Amino acid sequence: MYVLREDAISLCGFDPSVRALAAFSGGPDSVALLLELQRLVIEGRLAGVFAAHLNHGIRGEEADRDEAFCVDFCASRGIPLTVGKADVPEYAEQNGLSLETAARKERYLFLERIRKDRGCDCIVTAHHADDQAETVLMHLLRGCGTDGIAGMQYRNDSIARPLLGVTKEEILCFLSERKQPFCTDSSNSEDDALRNRIRHELIPFLESFQPRIVSSLGRTAVFAREDVSYLEKCAESAFESVPERKELAALPEAIRMRVLKRYLPYDSFDRNDLYALDALLTAHTGTVRNLKDGWIAYSGAHRLYVRKGSDAVYEFPLAIGKTVPAGRGVIRAEYVPKAVFPCGENEVFLDSDAIRGELTVRTPKDGDRFCPFGMRGSKLLSDFFTDRKVPRFDRSVPVVCDTDGIVAVMGYTIDERVKVADSTKTILRIVYEEEL
């Protein structure tokens, strides 16, 4: 009897070139998982398997016992094992987290570090069908959409969960047939965590209505995941077309909200962030909404924009050959033998002999005037941006000046007086590189 199913091997992306890192606690689920992964290596269906065990510093002697078991288990089977230690209670207190959440964060940070050190392609966890059922119920109790009902996936980025279709009972039968010992975590019997209460109270109650509730919830997750996959493909297609605000507003809400998620540069968003973006789709041009962690969203003439809040005012000398900070990036100036046109979006070429005095780079100021390339007479920089339909919150670009005024507005144009001509003898190249 094998507990690892063939379809799961494919769904997890396992093949003879893959090196897998197993999260190994010593409990029945991870023991079964590691045995099966080693079988795949022996059969030539995986390139290699490694194990990683983290002592969370929570259960005292019991945790030390589990660690010793994991060391002996892997040594007896020739499986390379990395053991780590963490003070989860201290981490939880410092970050205002529950022990369960803190342990999960520390564990995945540890696993990802070991995955990279070992040169593994994925982290493999022993989440099984009962875990999936508990996850779906947790999401439902907290309120969720289709993504929450879909639960965990067989493969999500670098995380693989090949036992998602296998019940706890099947895992225990698999180990019993092999007379394979394992560790028992006493904290799993406690009811202070929501997941444990769902496991010990809610699922047994639901089994009185549906004896196969674990399998039923697993099927529900599969159906929901199929819907999520389709909706995500639709949203990705809509996002890649970079629609204007009015086009976004016309999309069905199920697609629109998924498109709006792609505008957010951080993962810890909530529904309120999406509602704020959604409201901007039909708002007046220039309307601003505050998001998390200093991010803001605003409505341009045609499009939606998300960026960090107003940039700090700065002004630095721009010495030739040096790289200096400039807003959300860095800028440098250097002499070059010739100008290359068309130049890059954030690159300009200037007639060095036309520059007066020392160069500086700064944020735009009220009343800034210059003569845009190809024009006659001066123009307010603010009017230049307005003519170009540049949203007001995107106008804090680096401005390069000499003693006579602006010589370049990075990302847009240069001043007419410093343009490169046939008679130009010395050419200065200035390039701006955004880091955010």
Q: Which CATH number fits domain 315-434: 3.40.30.10, 1.10.730.10, 3.50.40.10, 3.40.50.300?
A: 3.50.40.10
Lookup result for tokens 């897998």: 20
**pLDDT digit string (tens) for 203-221?**
999 999 999 999 999 999 9
Each domain of the chain, given as residue ranges in start order, spans: 6-201, 241-308, 315-434
Instruction: Give the least confident one: 167-181, 282-296, 301-315.
Output: 301-315
Q: What is the rounded distance in angstroms from the CA atom of residue 225 to the CA atom of residue 153? A: 8
Could you give the dihedral angle defined by the CA atoms of residues 159, 164, 166 and 172, in that order, rounded to the nearest 10 degrees?
Answer: 50
Q: Quick one: pLDDT at residue 187?
A: 66
In this structure, CATH architecture of domain 6-201? 3-Layer(aba) Sandwich (3.40)
Q: What is the rounded distance in angstroms from the CA atom of residue 367 to the CA atom of residue 351? A: 25
CA–CA–CA angle 401, 403, 404 (5° rounding):
85
What percent of the chain clears pLDDT 70, i.e. is strictly above it?
97
Could you give the dihedral angle defined by the CA atoms of residues 93, 96, 102 and 108, in that order, rounded to the nearest 10 degrees?
Answer: -120
Q: What is the DSSP string of 138-198?
A: HHHHH---HHHHT---SEETTEE-TTTTS-HHHHHHHHHHTT------GGGG--SSHHHHI
Q: What is the rounded distance in angstroms from the CA atom of residue 81 to the CA atom of residue 75? A: 8
- DSSP code of 199? I
Above 90 in pLDDT, residue 62?
Answer: no
Which amino acid belongs to residue 433?
E
Number of neighbouring beta carbons within 10 Å of residue 292:
12
Above 80 in pLDDT, residue 235?
Answer: yes
**pLDDT digit string (tens) for 323-361?**
888 877 889 999 999 999 889 889 999 999 999 999 999
- Comparing 364 with 88, the larger pLDDT belongs to 364
**pLDDT digit string (tens) for 117-142?**
999 999 999 999 999 999 999 999 99
